[in-house]
Structure 1
Amino acid sequence: MKIIIHGGFFSESDQSHEVKTAKQDSLKGIAEKAFEYLKTHSAFEAVAYAVSLLEDDELYNAGTGSQIQGDGIIRMSAAIIDGETEKMSGVINIENVKNPILVAKALIGEDDRVLGGNGAKKYADEHGFENHSTEIPKRRKEYEEKLKNGGKGTVGCVAIDKDGKLAAATSTGGKGFEIPGRISDSATVAGNYANSFCAVSCTGVGEDIVSNATAAKIVTRVTDGLTLEEAFSKTFNELKAIDGFAGAIAIDREGNLFHQDSHPTMVFADFDGQNFEVFK
């Protein structure tokens, strides 16, 4: 059993040492809680749980603390994929729910598994998800002052459970100030993908990740026989060719972990029950 989570990127120029320390402590705590949960739950259930904890933490751009779009409204996206069944479900541009990832998880049993906008919110309302504002004063101030820092902050989790099953989950509050209706990578196979060989969650500029098909490429290459490191190297070299901005976390079916970013520093933490690794 292993788990790895990410919380977007950290910029030394835009954020303080206190914020960096807070994120390190937060990621470590969430990774530990998620690993304990993984002991008695499947990888699919555990990644949803981990991402819900990240969504609840105002340090990250997902759930509570999400960025505000160009028209002053918060719209969030999230997706989850079960590596065993290779079924993915998600919500795109959903408003006023506390945990988009849990709505995405609820959709896994539906025939129509990816919903957007009003349809996603209607489904959430009908399935017991309470109306909830995820806005915080800091984001409103940033919006009003037209600040552009901190916009690359998607969160995600990848896990392998005791039965060797893999899953990935990803959630985002967007990049901030975007054109309403913009669709990120998070609820696509470019940003969140898994099968029985590998699971990947991405963060960064959604347009770059979609153009590069980052998560799908990594998983496909591992499936075809490349090691995780080889798959990442090839995929990130292709990302570099388009000057793409992305980071990714992954686990393969042997329990190997890997992470890489094109523009340091992606914030992440992983835990195997004994050892932590946290971004520096």
Structure 2
Amino acid sequence: MNVPRLAARILLGCLGIAGVTSASAAEPVLVIHGGAGVIRKGMDAQDESDAREAMAAALKAGHAQLMQGKPALDAVTAAITVLEDSPQFNAGKGAVFTHEGRNELDAAVMDGATLQAGAVAGVQTVRNPILLARTVMEKSPHVMMAREGAEAFAADNGITLVEPAYFRTEKRWQQLQKALKEEAGGQAHSDVETAKHFGTVGAVALDRDGHLAAGTSTGGMTNKRWGRIGDSPIIGAGTYADAGCAVSGTGWGEYYIRAVAAHDICARIKYAGQSVDEAAYAVINREIPLAGGNGGAIVLAADGHFAMPFNTDGMYRGWIGADGVPHVAIFAGEPLPSR
């Protein structure tokens, strides 16, 4: 039993914090993303099919948890684990390479019902960083661990470790070679996939108790240097959840950090009374682009409404409700049924 987590739930309930009530069961919903920035011309038919299949599998994995009455956090980690194991996305198996030719992985989770959170940064041997982030939250007094310390904690807690070579894919390796060549020649990146700041996976979920959770996992930026950490593992920047709102972002992390983007979306909903669509649009499609950044996010409210804003040519995205039918989309303008 996680005593701190249980105590936090009891305390929040006793204090009457919004969203922590014994109200009737909510209708579960799970929303995922697999990164913004995708463009149609850079994707062949097999890549597209594989990505859609992986997203559908992730949605079904998370949905199964929700239908068993499990908490939102279980659905989030189940969905993200599938995406981390799929080489189509910049997380886990499909992570991009650093300047030095390594895969350095970041992840975070947050439980909206208790405001507890866990994160890891710069790990190189953890097969599923999202599971380690959750373990940091549940089995340590800390919120974030990094690099060798995080990996030692993983080993102590039975988290699956792999050789660094596990994460290598030829596609990502070639993207690094292209980026290095362009960098050496002083050229701008010639395509979105090679661009430094795209790619992440994430999930947000609402469970039958009306509780929310969020999680994000990433390989970061192609050709990143000096131990760079982006927004994904930073609570409030790329990942955030409270009683009324859950957010996972994807995009140019430096701008999401400066904007405290994930928290800002939830704060607009909580304090300014904005709708999910209004708050998400204001931050993702106005504030971040005005500052010079771009990307997208998935946002889910406690009433089950959600938004998937992005300002790039596409974003891997999808959702699933109580009926168990996964809905996925990739490109801008592609129809995606709403609730």
TM bucket, shorter chain = over 0.9
Determine which structure has the larger strand proportion and give its number.
1
Q: How does 1:130-169 map to 2 (within 5 A)?
A: 130-132=160-162, 133=164, 134-146=167-179, 149-150=193-194, 152-169=198-215
Give, in angstroms, the shift of residue 28 of structure 1.
1.8
- Pick from 1, 5, 8 the counterpart of residue 35 of structure 2: 8
Question: For residues 129 and 234 of structure 1, what CA distance do their matches in structure 2 show?
Answer: 38
Question: For residues 83 and 171 of structure 2, what CA distance do their matches in structure 1 show?
Answer: 17
Which residue identity does 2:32 align to in structure 1? I
Q: So what's the TM-score if we normalise by structure 2?
A: 0.79
**Structure 1 residue 29 corresponds to structure 2 residue 57:** yes
> Who is 1:272 aligned against?
321
- Alpha-carbon deviations, 1:40-83, whole Å to 9, x = none? 21101110111111100010110111111011111100000000
- CA RMSD after TM alignment: 1.6
Question: For residues 101 and 163 of structure 1, what CA distance do their matches in structure 2 show?
Answer: 23
> Who is 2:256 aligned against?
209
Question: For residues 82 and 134 of structure 2, what CA distance do their matches in structure 1 show?
Answer: 14
Question: For residues 163 and 13 of structure 1, what CA distance do their matches in structure 2 show?
Answer: 43
Give, in angstroms, the shift of residue 27 of structure 1.
1.0
Which residue identity does 1:121 align to in structure 2? E
- Alpha-carbon deviations, 1:208-227, whole Å to 9, x = none? 21122211110111111211
Question: For residues 136 and 126 of structure 1, what CA distance do their matches in structure 2 show?
Answer: 28
Question: For residues 160 and 31 of structure 2, what CA distance do their matches in structure 1 show?
Answer: 29
Q: So what's the TM-score if we normalise by structure 1?
A: 0.95
- Pick from 49, 57, 82 the counterpart of residue 86 of structure 2: 57
Q: SS at 2:42's partner residue?
A: coil
**Structure 1 residue 114 corresponds to structure 2 residue 162:** no
Which residue identity does 2:174 align to in structure 1? K
Q: SS at 2:308's partner residue?
A: strand
Give, in angstroms, the shift of residue 96 of structure 1.
1.0
Question: For residues 313 and 39 of structure 2, what CA distance do their matches in structure 1 show?
Answer: 8
The number of equivalent residue pairs is: 280
Give, in angstroms, the shift of residue 175 of structure 1.
1.2
Q: How does 1:189-228 map to 2 (within 5 A)?
A: 189-224=236-271, 225-228=273-276
Q: Is the 8 A contact 1:69 1:180 kept in 2?
A: no
Question: For residues 176 and 141 of structure 1, what CA distance do their matches in structure 2 show?
Answer: 11
Question: For residues 289 and 52 of structure 2, what CA distance do their matches in structure 1 show?
Answer: 27
Q: Is the 8 A contact 2:216 2:249 kept in 1?
A: yes
Q: SS at 2:142's partner residue?
A: coil
Q: SS at 1:13's partner residue?
A: helix
> Who is 1:82 aligned against?
111
Question: For residues 92 and 202 of structure 1, what CA distance do their matches in structure 2 show?
Answer: 16
Q: Is the 8 A contact 1:197 1:252 kept in 2?
A: yes
Q: SS at 2:107's partner residue?
A: strand
**Structure 1 residue 256 corresponds to structure 2 residue 305:** yes
- Pick from 127, 135, 138 the counterpart of residue 157 of structure 2: 127
> Who is 1:242 aligned against?
291
> Who is 2:230 aligned against?
184
> Who is 1:231 aligned against?
279
Where does structure 1 lack aligned partners over 5 or more consecutive residues? none
Q: Is the 8 A contact 1:96 1:131 kept in 2?
A: yes
Q: SS at 1:88's partner residue?
A: strand
Question: For residues 300 and 175 of structure 2, what CA distance do their matches in structure 1 show?
Answer: 35
Give, in angstroms, the shift of residue 145 of structure 1.
4.2
Which residue identity does 1:218 align to in structure 2? I
Which residue identity does 2:40 align to in structure 1? E
The structure with the larger Rg is 2
Which residue identity does 2:217 align to in structure 1? S
Give, in angstroms, the shift of residue 6 of structure 1.
0.4
Which one is further off, 21-30 or 49-58?
21-30
> Who is 1:38 aligned against?
66
Give, in angstroms, the shift of residue 204 of structure 1.
1.0
Q: SS at 1:73's partner residue?
A: coil
Q: Is the 8 A contact 1:71 1:180 kept in 2?
A: no
Q: SS at 2:94's partner residue?
A: coil
